[in-house]
Amino acid sequence: AQKVTQTQTSISVMEKTTVTMDCVYETQDSSYFLFWYKQTASGEIVFLIRQDSYKKENATVGHYSLNFQKPKSSIGLIITATQIEDSAVYFCAMREEGTNTGKLTFGDGTVLTVKP
């Protein structure tokens, strides 16, 4: 069964610094897709970035990038030059290729607070 674990409950950083959020996953599937979402204070869930398991290159979108370490089943999210508005809950999630439903399994989330 697929499982996603985010061990950091909360992180607090100063504005304009770099933060890394951890995520490890468990899957029996050889092909899978990893996602990071952000839930804002209003509750909205926003897709940020994805990594396909067969791709060796780490994904980058704007000031978000991923640290994909496949042997460790790890997919960390890196936010550079953090801004106050990056304060939110960040969820790691996974979809398995072998599923016949496309279900997205989430971690418990990490609360990020960016301070001025």
Partner 1 sequence: GPKVLQIPSHQIIDMGQMVTLNCDPVSNHLYFYWYKQILGQQMEFLVNFYNGKVMEKSKLFKDQFSVERPDGSYFTLKIQPTALEDSAVYFCASSLEQTNTEVFFGKGTRLTVV
* Binding interface with partner 1 (CB under 8 A): 32-33, 35, 37, 39, 42-47, 50, 52, 89, 91, 93, 95-97, 99-109
Query: Looking at beta carbons only, is 26 or 52 nearer to partner 1?
Result: 52
Distance CA(23)–CA(110), nearest Å, equals 10
Q: Please report how close the Cβ of residue 16 comes to partner 1 at its closest, in angstroms.
A: 26
Q: Please report how close the Cβ of residue 42 comes to partner 1 at its closest, in angstroms.
A: 7
H-state helical runs in the chain: none
Q: Please report how close the Cβ of residue 48 comes to partner 1 at its closest, in angstroms.
A: 10
Query: Looking at beta carbons only, is 101 or 116 nearer to partner 1?
Result: 101
Distance CA(99)–CA(31), nearest Å, equals 10
Task: Give the DSSP H/E element, type plus range, for residue 89.
Answer: strand 88-96
Q: Please report how close the Cβ of residue 104 comes to partner 1 at its closest, in angstroms.
A: 5
Query: Looking at beta carbons only, is 14 or 98 nearer to partner 1?
Result: 98
Following DSSP, what letter does each residue of 1-25 receive, concatenated?
A: --EEE---SEEEEETTS-EEE--EE
Query: Looking at beta carbons only, is 9 or 71 nearer to partner 1?
Result: 9
Place of tokens 């890394």: 20
